[in-house]
């Protein structure tokens, strides 16, 4: 008896659901639930993490991310304008910077600024400044390209109209072009904020005191103390508390941008 396309699709979906249900049942039967609960969901260990994991680790994670994002955004805007400059040396400097910092791991930047700079110049940078520079220098390389694309996406007629009204090139760029460019690139910039949130975990390389712990370091330290993965799970959930709303914001901004087009 011939099978129609609709019936074949229904059978395929049924098989996929069956495989999924079978996998869940097999896992439920073979898993050691007591061991899993003790390893990942130890209530006593979870209670011991609060409130410091919120008042110290979560707050520091947000602080480090905002410092790096703010510095990176300002530097990224300057680099984007240099990249679009009609003066070749500015473009060369911007391209070299962008290619260099996009090509090396953020980890190496943390090591260079945290240990290399103090050794080379005999200066001790404040920890927050080191974090801000490390995250910002790398983030700026990505944000510069995003902002440049946004500026180039603004119709040239906007600049010409501003110039015809008597605005200088700089004022037209600052008042007309850049605000529109930022509206265009807001979703990718929010994505960069999410990436910096996760990169802020590299701050552990700098050797932190207890009051400077961020989520990843706090979770790892608690893991060593309690011999349980519960702190890692709690720290991961708190990262999601930050990143999931940002991801939702990105989707809304993308939808709004698409509708505006």
Instruction: Report yes or no: 159 and 140 within 8 Å, Cβ to Cβ.
Output: no
**Angle of helix 230-260 relative to helix 178-199, nearest 10 degrees?**
170
User: Does 230 have pLDDT greater than 70?
Assistant: yes
Round to whole Å and give the CA distance between 143 and 77. 8
pLDDT of amino acid 74:
96
Which CATH code fits 31-258? 1.10.3720.10
What is the residue-wise DSSP string for 102-139? Answer: HHS-HHHHHHIIIIIHHHHH-----HHHHHHHHHHHHH
Encode pLDDT of 17-66 as tens digits: 999 999 999 988 888 888 888 888 888 898 998 999 999 999 999 999 99
Kindly indicate the confidence band of residue 260, based on its pLDDT and cuts at 50, 70 and 90: low
d(CA 104, CA 136): 14
Indicate the burial class of 253 (C-beta count within 10 angstroms; 0-12, 13-18, 19 or more): middle
Q: For the chain, give every domain's residue range.
A: 31-258
More confident residue, 256 or 107: 107
- Residue count of the chain, please give it: 261
- Residue 85 backbone phi and psi in degrees, to 5: -65, 150
47: DSSP letter: H
Mean pLDDT highest for which of 60-74, 163-177, 179-193, 200-214? 60-74
132-161 confidence digits (pLDDT tens):
999 999 999 999 999 999 999 988 888 888
Whole-prediction pTM? 0.86
Q: What's the half-sphere exposure (Cβ side, CA atoms, 13 Å) at 42?
A: 17
Burial (0-12, 13-18, 19+ Cβ within 10 Å), 141: buried
CB 50 within 8 A of CB 56: no
pLDDT in tens, 87-113: 999 999 999 999 999 999 999 999 999
Report which DSSP code applies to 154. Answer: S
3-class state of residue 68 by DSSP: helix
d(CA 64, CA 183): 25
């Amino acid at each position: 008896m011939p099978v129609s396309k609709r019936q074949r699709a229904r059978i395929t979906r049924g098989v996929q659901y069956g495989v999924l249900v079978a996998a869940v049942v097999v896992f439920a039967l073979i898993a050691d639930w007591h061991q899993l609960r003790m390893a990942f969901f130890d209530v006593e260990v979870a209670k011991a993490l609060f409130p410091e994991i919120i008042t110290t680790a979560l707050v520091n994670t947000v602080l480090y991310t905002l410092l790096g994002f703010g510095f990176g955004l300002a530097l990224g805007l300057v680099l984007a304008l240099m990249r679009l400059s009609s003066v070749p040396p500015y473009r060369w400097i911007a391209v070299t910077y962008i290619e260099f910092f996009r090509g090396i791991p953020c980890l190496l930047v943390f090591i260079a600024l945290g240990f290399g700079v103090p050794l080379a110049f005999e200066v001790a940078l404040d920890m927050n400044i080191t974090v801000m520079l490390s995250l910002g220098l790398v983030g700026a390389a990505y944000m510069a390209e995003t902002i440049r694309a946004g500026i180039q996406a603004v119709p040239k007629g906007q600049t010409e109209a501003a110039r015809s009204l008597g605005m200088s090139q700089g004022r037209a760029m600052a008042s007309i072009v850049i605000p529109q460019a930022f509206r265009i690139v807001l979703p990718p910039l929010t994505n960069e904020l999410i990436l910096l949130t996760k990169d802020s975990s590299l701050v552990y390389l700098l050797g932190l005191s207890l009051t400077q712990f961020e989520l990843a370091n706090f979770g790892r330290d608690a893991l060593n103390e309690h011999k349980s993965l519960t702190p890692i799970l709690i720290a991961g959930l708190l990262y999601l508390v930050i990143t999931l709303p940002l991801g939702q914001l990105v989707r809304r901004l993308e939808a709004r941008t698409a509708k505006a087009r």
